[in-house]
Amino acid sequence: MSSEDPPAVDVAEMGIEAAVDAVLEADERRDRTLVRDALERFVVDGVVSWDAVDEALPAVVQAVSTAEERTSMASFELSKVEDEADAVADLATVEARLADFESELSVLADRASELRDRVDALQDRVEAADSLYPLAVEFRDVADEAESIENTAMALIEAIEDLGDDLDDPEGWVRGVRRDLVAVEDTLDALETVTDNLEATLAGDGDDWAAEIDPAVAWFDATLRAGVVDLMVADARFELQDLRTWADREDADWYPDDADDQVASLQERQATLATRLDDLAEGGWRERFDDRLDAFEADVAETEPPVDWRELQVTLERYRPEDATA
């Protein structure tokens, strides 16, 4: 038995807890909760039983079919949006979103195909099995993968529909970008407040604030977040440039001229903030956090518009200190 293979333990007609104990006795590396989760599919009146297998199989088959249907729905929605996007598919923002969807759908379709092979093999495994636990593990894993594929497909469909909405209403798309910029403005407001407090502390006037927070941690966290703001503003500017190009092509008046001013203002504020933070850094702060700053900068070095803001946020949270303020 490899480290990945479930132990072939005879647990039929055992109570659920006794069956779990038997599996763990055979392989103590197993997690009790996961073992119980697998076996519970085959429990009748508190006893692990072969009688439950025939009832569990149709439910797993149906879960796989549902996952395949959702994957097909995602493919259909993407085809529709690609047709809608034909006139503006050359715009980098649109092209990138479509390419991301195509890549995600390809991975999803491969997963669904592999899952179909597994569920098709389940009937043979049921007939050949002489131990319930390995079978229970496969039932659980197939059902979990089916649920994951279904959830991923539904999220993909929602994202594709969002692009469809943007294509139908480019003016609304502009408003959405500008709402994102308002959130960036709020972040800058907060970072500027932190920077004000750091400056006051170093000048000997911020003792009350410094008593509640480590200035070095606050500086490091603000520096990370300022770098993320820079990427977000650049991304919004990139997106708005594409939308302006679209409007110009159609000689349309839905693109607001002051959107460019909003981006320019944020870029100026971010640059000023970054300079202030750099000037504030004391030697001890840099020595303490230089390695983590370098690692963060390496992680985001190749990030170019269009940026996945959610992925960027995940990267930020990976580096932010645990005791940083929100």
H-run or E-run covering 226: helix 215-250
Across residues 3-24, what is the average pLDDT?
A: 85
Q: What is the pLDDT of residues 75-93, one digit of tens each?
A: 999 999 999 999 999 999 9
- pLDDT of 3 reads 44
Which of the four pLDDT bands, split at 50, 70 and 90, describes residue 1? very low
pLDDT higher than threshold 60 for residue 2: no
Angle 239-84-171 (CA atoms, 0-180°, nearest 5)? Answer: 40
* Of the listed ranges 40-44, 71-75, 176-180, 319-323, the one predicted with least confidence: 319-323
> Across residues 231-237, what is the average pLDDT?
95
Amino acid making up residue 128:
A
- Judged by average pLDDT, the poorest of 122-136, 201-215, 260-274 is 201-215
pLDDT-wise least confident of 5-19, 26-40, 181-195, 220-234: 5-19
In DSSP notation, 91-159 reads SHHHHHHHHHHHHHHHHHHHHHHHHHHHHHHHHHHHHH-S-HHHHHHHHHHHHHHHHHHHHHHHHHHHH
pLDDT at 191 exceeding the cut of 60: yes
Residue range 16-44: average pLDDT? 91
For residue 231, pLDDT beyond 50: yes
What pLDDT does 204 receive?
A: 78
Give the relative orientation of helices 309-319 and 283-300 as an angle to the nearest 10 degrees: 150
108 within 8 A of 125, measured Cβ to Cβ: no
The whole-chain average pLDDT of the chain stands at 92
- pLDDT number for residue 6: 84
54 or 119: which carries more pLDDT confidence?
119
Question: Is the previous residue joined to 305 through a cis bond, with omega within 30 degrees of 0?
Answer: no
> Among 6-10, 40-44, 284-288, which is the least confidently predicted range?
6-10
Asked whether the beta carbons of 22 and 16 are under 8 A apart, the reply is: no
In this structure, the dihedral spanned by the alpha carbons of residues 8, 9, 13 and 15, taken in order and rounded to 10 degrees, is -130
pLDDT at 207: 63
- Provide the whole-model pTM: 0.85
> What number is the average pLDDT over the span 124-136?
87
pLDDT for res 314: 92
Is 308 a residue whose pLDDT tops 70?
Answer: yes
Query: Of 93, 77, 96, 248, which is closest to residue 177 (Cα–Cα)?
Result: 93
pLDDT digits (tens, 9 = 90+) for 96-116: 999 999 999 999 999 999 999
